[in-house]
Chains A and B, each alone.
Chain A
Amino acid sequence: MSEASADGHEDHGHHGPAFLAHHFTTPAQQFDAAKLGMWLFLAQELLFFSGLFVAYLVFRMWYPDAWSVGSHELDWKMGTVNTLVLLFSSLTAVLAVRSAQLGERGKVTMLLLVTIACAFIFLVVKYFEYQHKFEAGLLPGHYFAPVAGHTHANVFPPGTAAFFSVYFMATGVHGLHVIIGIGVLFWMVIRNQKGEFTKDFWTPIDLVALYWHLVDLIWIYLFPFLYLID
């Protein structure tokens, strides 16, 4: 095994920097490939969420009353706080990329940790929102059983259950993306602390920040659709 692979490497003895994978010729080619791959991944993420948005739109057309009642049951203040938190975290994520490009290792870690903290704040707020919905019995489909006194409305038009199905699916899947985001952001912190990133190589941070912007962007659409539109 070692003989043959040594042979192979002799033929291709590449001279690039350590971060350059064996099958790329130049760091620029590696960067372009990584970036394009990430954009394609984000495109498929959008298509994944598009199913939920279509379900939202279809049912909204069918049950305008239920959608109005449903959105009034959501707490727009908590939603606004979460929107601001996520917007701010997107800013810190992009600043982390800038610091990485400038080679400021300490600053990168700090900014990534702030981003992670924002993600946790988002989840905590979401937890309180979910808790309230559970107490009020505002649950999807079969489990939809509003508890008098815990809800704003007294009468729930047909289709309100579908509103909460869409609400829990959309925010649930989005929340899962936030959790995954926390994971990859932590991974970046660790790699950064190990000194893997330099002024010449900061691609992974760039890509994770792109992912984080997408998580933010999806929330930017979910928030008005679910909380604000009457």
Chain B
Amino acid sequence: MSTAVATNEVPNYLTSETGWKSWAFTLDHKRIGVMYLIAILLSFLAGGIFALLVRIELAFPGETIMGPDWYNKSFTLHGAIMVFLFIIPSIPGALGNFFLPLMLGAKDVAFPRLNLMSLYCWIVGAGLLLYSIFTGAVDTGWTFYTPYSTSTQTSVMSTTMGVFVLGFSSILTGINFVTTIHTMRAPGLHWRRLPLFVWGQYATSVIQVLATPVLAVTLLLLTMEKAFSLGIFDPKFGGDPVLFQHFFWFYSHPAVYIMILPGMAVVNELIATFSRRAIFGYMFVAMSSVSLALLGFLVWGHHMFVAGMSEYSTMVFSALTFLVAIPSGVKVFNWTATLYKGSISFASPMLWALSFLFLFTIGGLTGLFLGTLNVDVHLHDTYFVVAHFHYVMVGGTVMGFVGGLHYWWPKMFGRMYNENAARVGWFLVFVGFNITFLTQFVLGSQGMPRRYWDYLERFRPLHGFSSIGALILGLGFFVLGGMFIHSLFRGKKAPRNPWGSAGFEWNTTTPPHPHNFEVTPIIRRGPYDYHLATEEELAST
């Protein structure tokens, strides 16, 4: 690393201390955020490779590159890695860790040691998952449904124990963020002035704290079931496999909001900055995050409409599911209203935010199809479901994450990236994504079941088309990866506030001071109050 620059300038967190121990034992939330970012991007790469393997296998009917066993393992690993190692920790672990304290004007999160511990929990959990890959992998799907998961010979135990440990990482982050937001705000930063990114993280953290332990106990029971034939999920001993599904989705539905709320949180910041306007209906947007977090706990049954619940329960779950559309709609409409008469810039981060707006809306609306009882009977377990959640998870969260990464990259590493490469990468991802998954809505409505290794001749053109899309999507991410790596070494030096944002995190030096701010800031306006921000604050240097 070159140390030519900045010998007598303001110290920055990247160079203030050196040596591997200064990273491995650091309590600095920014360094922990950077390590999380590296870990998460590596998982994204691994999960992406499995996704491409799955799509290549499905490009043609019959065996293309792997047999059914490895196909089952590939889609399971794709799901498990993407959900547990990538999406859930992505925005909170990397961007949240880095920027939450900066936005609050705090010196660190409330519990820096727990923060480091959460990273190490992640590493141990990821290690267990990796271990399971080398000991025969797992072929249950990321949902680990019983009775298959208790009877298959693949390494279910190390996978579930890995996910169990990853849960600790998630819970610790959640506890840390809620406490930080409650107790560490700078003077003048009252709740109505909180950046909406912080509101989104707050809602996410509440779910992480309250839902993750339920997954933990579920996986513990599953492990005991496998190790000692406990029987809680086994009808032979009086147990019930449907109970597993209830337990699993009691976590995993709220987990969907752990994944999407941070994406929405980032989009708030992007839309405000690149249209230079305050978010329309600030308090409504903030409260919609909180209400999504609460509603998220009440709708798990919609994953089980055909699993043998009473009709009465399915009706209640269906009605509650429709309620989710209200806060989601509030967000989408308020973002659109923010754009109206805004001074919009189409810089690369904004392209991702607008993609989010477009793709998440498709993902959200198709969710209503699935929440409708009679339609769900037809669409359940088809590619329609796969397309729906990829539109929400990739079209939503990944768009938010990558957009946020572009947006905050200059602040994190002090260097700009190549804007043209960013646009090319975005274009490939956007086009590739839509080719891949729009096709799958059609496939699903025509009756193609999910998770099948082979398919009928009549699905051949659509599957082939979807696979081509996946390759374009993959290429797009490789362009972006190359662009970011290039930026680290050759990128132009980034100014303090390259986007002219009024957000609080841009007030500190680039890259930030080891203690975030040289003097604890006093907050006198909201984060989107462009009419109150001074010329000096909005200036790039």
The residues of A with any CB-CB pair to B shorter than 8 Å are 1, 4-5, 7-8, 11-12, 21-23, 25, 29, 32-33, 36-37, 40-41, 43-45, 47-52, 54-55, 58-59, 62-63, 66, 140-144, 158-162, 165-166, 169, 173
A168: nearest chain-B partner, CB-CB: B230
Whether A169 contacts B224 in the complex (CB less than 8 A), given A37-B110, A40-B178, comes out as yes
Report yes or no: B232 in contact with A23, Cβ–Cβ below 8 A: no
Measured between alpha carbons, how far is A50 from B214 in the docked complex, in Å? Answer: 7
The residues of B with any CB-CB pair to A shorter than 8 Å are 11, 15-19, 22, 106-112, 114, 171, 174-176, 178-180, 182-184, 209-214, 216-218, 220-221, 224-225, 228-232, 234, 237-240, 243, 246-247, 513-515, 518, 520
Chain B residues whose C-beta falls within 8 Å of the C-beta of A32 in the assembled complex: 182-183
Report yes or no: A159 in contact with B515, Cβ–Cβ below 8 A: no
Report yes or no: A159 in contact with B238, Cβ–Cβ below 8 A: yes
Q: Which of A22, A41, A45, A55 contacts B232 (CB 8 A)?
A: A55
Q: Which of B15, B106, B183 contacts A36 (CB 8 A)?
A: B183
Report yes or no: A8 in contact with B514, Cβ–Cβ below 8 A: yes
Closest CB in chain A relative to B171 CB, distance in Å = 5
Report yes or no: A33 in contact with B183, Cβ–Cβ below 8 A: yes
Closest CB in chain A relative to B125 CB, distance in Å = 17
Closest CB in chain A relative to B297 CB, distance in Å = 10
In addition to A4-B11, A51-B221, 6 A-B residue pairs with Cβ atoms within 8 Å of each other are: A22-B108, A33-B180, A40-B179, A55-B221, A63-B238, A158-B238
Report yes or no: A169 in contact with B230, Cβ–Cβ below 8 A: yes
Measured between alpha carbons, how far is A5 from B28 in the docked complex, in Å? Answer: 12
* Closest 7 pairs between A and B when the two form their complex, measured CB to CB: A141-B231, A142-B229, A51-B217, A48-B213, A162-B238, A23-B108, A23-B107
Most chain B beta-carbon contacts within 10 A, residue among A4, A23, A161: A23
11 A-B Cβ contacts within 8 A? A29-B183, A36-B183, A40-B179, A47-B213, A51-B217, A51-B247, A52-B217, A54-B247, A140-B230, A144-B237, A169-B224
Report yes or no: B239 in contact with A5, Cβ–Cβ below 8 A: no
Chain A residues whose C-beta falls within 8 Å of the C-beta of B230 in the assembled complex: 140-142, 165, 169
Whether A1 contacts B231 in the complex (CB less than 8 A), given A36-B182, A40-B179, comes out as no
Measured between alpha carbons, how far is A169 from B28 in the docked complex, in Å? Answer: 39
Measured between alpha carbons, how far is A12 from B216 in the docked complex, in Å? Answer: 41
Chain A residues whose C-beta falls within 8 Å of the C-beta of B243 in the assembled complex: 55, 58
Chain A residues whose C-beta falls within 8 Å of the C-beta of B110 in the assembled complex: 23, 33, 37
Report yes or no: B17 in contact with A161, Cβ–Cβ below 8 A: no
Report yes or no: A142 in contact with B237, Cβ–Cβ below 8 A: yes
Chain B residues whose C-beta falls within 8 Å of the C-beta of A48 in the assembled complex: 213-214, 216-217
Chain A residues whose C-beta falls within 8 Å of the C-beta of B214 in the assembled complex: 47-48, 50-51
B101: nearest chain-A partner, CB-CB: A23
Measured between alpha carbons, how far is A59 from B233 in the docked complex, in Å? Answer: 11
Chain B residues whose C-beta falls within 8 Å of the C-beta of A36 in the assembled complex: 178-179, 182-183
Report yes or no: B238 in contact with A161, Cβ–Cβ below 8 A: yes
Closest CB in chain A relative to B231 CB, distance in Å = 3
Q: Which of A5, A50, A52 contacts B16 (CB 8 A)?
A: A5
Q: Which of A1, A4, A29, A162 contacts B239 (CB 8 A)?
A: A162
Closest CB in chain A relative to B104 CB, distance in Å = 11
Report yes or no: B212 in contact with A166, Cβ–Cβ below 8 A: no
Measured between alpha carbons, how far is A132 from B180 in the docked complex, in Å? Answer: 48
Report yes or no: A33 in contact with B238, Cβ–Cβ below 8 A: no
Measured between alpha carbons, how far is A161 from B18 in the docked complex, in Å? Answer: 58
Q: Which of B11, B19, B109, B237 contacts A161 (CB 8 A)?
A: B237
Measured between alpha carbons, how far is A151 from B19 in the docked complex, in Å? Answer: 64
B177: nearest chain-A partner, CB-CB: A40
Measured between alpha carbons, how far is A45 from B216 in the docked complex, in Å? Answer: 10
Whether A47 contacts B211 in the complex (CB less than 8 A), given A12-B107, A141-B234, A165-B239, comes out as yes
Measured between alpha carbons, how far is A183 from B206 in the docked complex, in Å? Answer: 28
Measured between alpha carbons, how far is A140 from B178 in the docked complex, in Å? Answer: 39
Q: Which of A5, A45, A49, A55 contacts B514 (CB 8 A)?
A: A5
A141: nearest chain-B partner, CB-CB: B231
Q: Which of B213, B237, B515 contacts A141 (CB 8 A)?
A: B237
B218: nearest chain-A partner, CB-CB: A51
Most chain B beta-carbon contacts within 10 A, residue among A8, A25, A141: A141
Closest CB in chain A relative to B226 CB, distance in Å = 11
Chain B residues whose C-beta falls within 8 Å of the C-beta of A59 in the assembled complex: 238-239
Report yes or no: A140 in contact with B228, Cβ–Cβ below 8 A: yes
Whether A165 contacts B237 in the complex (CB less than 8 A), given A44-B210, A48-B214, comes out as yes
Whether A162 contacts B182 in the complex (CB less than 8 A), given A8-B11, A23-B108, A169-B221, comes out as no
Report yes or no: A33 in contact with B175, Cβ–Cβ below 8 A: no
Closest CB in chain B relative to A135 CB, distance in Å = 18
Q: Which of A8, A37, A54, A58 contacts B111 (CB 8 A)?
A: A37
Closest CB in chain A relative to B316 CB, distance in Å = 17
Most chain A beta-carbon contacts within 10 A, residue among B15, B19, B111, B230: B230
